C-alpha cells in the first residue's frame, strides 16, 4: 500500500494527474514541503492530504491538509 510508489508509476507510464505524491521522511521535510506549497510553486492553491505510510490506528483517517498556513498547528499535528 505504497501510494507514493503508485504515483511515480502513474507518472512514468503516462498517467500524469492521476495522483500527485510527495515522500517526506521527517518532520523537517514536512515543514519544508509545507513552505514550498505555500510559495509560488503552488500558485493554483492545490491542497494535499498528509498521510503516514505506516499503519496508525489513531490518525489513519485524518485528512490533515498541506499547505497549512498555521505552522504551530502543523507542528502540533506532527507531535501527535
Q: pLDDT tens across 54-69, in order?
A: 777 777 788 899 999 9
pLDDT for residue 5? 83
Q: Is residue 77 packed enough to be buried (19+ CB in 10 Å), middle (13-18) or exposed (0-12)?
A: middle
pLDDT for residue 18? 67
The whole model's pTM is what?
0.78
pLDDT for residue 33? 94
pLDDT at 29 over 80: yes
Amino acid at each position: 500500500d505504497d501510494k507514493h510508489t503508485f504515483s511515480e508509476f502513474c507518472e512514468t507510464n503516462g498517467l500524469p494527474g492521476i495522483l500527485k505524491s510527495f515522500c517526506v521522511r521527517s518532520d523537517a521535510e514536512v515543514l519544508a514541503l509545507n513552505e514550498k506549497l505555500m510559495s509560488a510553486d503552488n500558485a493554483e492553491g492545490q491542497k494535499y492530504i498528509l498521510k503516514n505510510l505506516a499503519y496508525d490506528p489513531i490518525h489513519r483517517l485524518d485528512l490533515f491538509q498541506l499547505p497549512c498556513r498555521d505552522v504551530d498547528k502543523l507542528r502540533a499535528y506532527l507531535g501527535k
